[in-house]
A and B are shown apart, each in its own frame.
Chain A
Amino acid sequence: KQEVTQIPAALSVPEGENLVLNCSFTDSAIYNLQWFRQDPGKGLTSLLLIQSSQREQTSGRLNASLDKSSGRSTLYIAASQPGDSATYLCAVRGFGNEKLTFGTGTRLTIIP
């Protein structure tokens, strides 16, 4: 059974700093991995999708990497801004269906 873990559970950094969020999964046989952000009381916004054959994806100040063999993904946020404050979730999709297994999330606070 796939298990996804995100460390740390919470992170506070001053505005302008670069930061890295971590995601690890136990079964390396994944179809793809998605990173989402969730604002309080809201749904999820898809940030980046990495297919299993890819090593990284970039969108603006965000860069996500994937190391399938070690069961790890990282989300790098450059030049953090207060608007980046949210909970970040990673989720992996296995083969054979579209189900996602979610990590526990990292609550990020950017201090102005």
Chain B
Amino acid sequence: GAVVSQHPSRVICKSGTSVKIECRSLDFQATTMFWYRQFPKQSLMLMATSNEGSKATYEQGVEKDKFLINHASLTLSTLTVTSAHPEDSSFYICSATIYNEQFFGPGTRLTVL
């Protein structure tokens, strides 16, 4: 299947700092990518839809000023958690669709101290 990568795989940061997570489609182009977060032992919650060349579409309740999404090319979307706080600690996963099938990255574990 198609490959989606994420970087970094895990990050620890201090409260108040910003963290950038990259999501890349390695062997295909993706005009649309998705960002999810997952809390322990829970299912995935869609945060936003990242659209290449235009603004992201955020789900209800997700702060767009806190979770900045940039989709500057057909193979790269970035999620920046601004002024991170301990409650932002979570597992963040991105995905992209090709031929109607959605493929997921390996996830990024964010821990905010």
Chain A contact residues, CB within 8 Å of chain B: 31-32, 34, 36, 41-46, 49, 51, 89, 91, 93, 97-100, 102-105
Q: Given known contacts A32-B100, A34-B101, A36-B104, is B43 in contact with A43 (CB within 8 Å)?
A: no
Across-interface contacts of B107 in A (CB, < 8 A): 41-43
Tier of interface size on chain B: 20 to 34
Contact present for A99 and B49 (CB under 8 Å): yes
Dominant secondary structure of chain A at its interface with chain B = strand
Q: Given known contacts A41-B109, A42-B106, A99-B49, is B43 in contact with A89 (CB within 8 Å)?
A: yes
Q: Given known contacts A49-B100, A51-B100, is B105 in contact with A105 (CB within 8 Å)?
A: no
Shortest Cβ distance from A100 into chain B, in angstroms?
A: 6
Kindly report which residue of chain B lies nearest to residue A91, judged by CB atoms.
B102
Q: How far is the CA of A102 from the CA of B34 in the complex (A)?
A: 13
Dominant secondary structure of chain B at its interface with chain A = strand
Q: Given known contacts A46-B1, A105-B43, is B102 in contact with A100 (CB within 8 Å)?
A: yes
List the 8 closest A-B pairs by CB distance, nearest first: A44-B104, A43-B106, A43-B104, A43-B107, A102-B43, A49-B101, A98-B97, A102-B44
Q: How far is the CA of A89 from the CA of B109 in the complex (A)?
A: 20
Other CB < 8 Å A-B pairs besides A99-B34, A104-B43, 20 of them? Answer: A32-B100, A41-B107, A41-B109, A42-B106, A43-B6, A44-B93, A46-B101, A46-B103, A46-B104, A49-B101, A51-B100, A89-B43, A93-B102, A98-B34, A98-B97, A99-B49, A100-B46, A102-B43, A102-B44, A103-B43
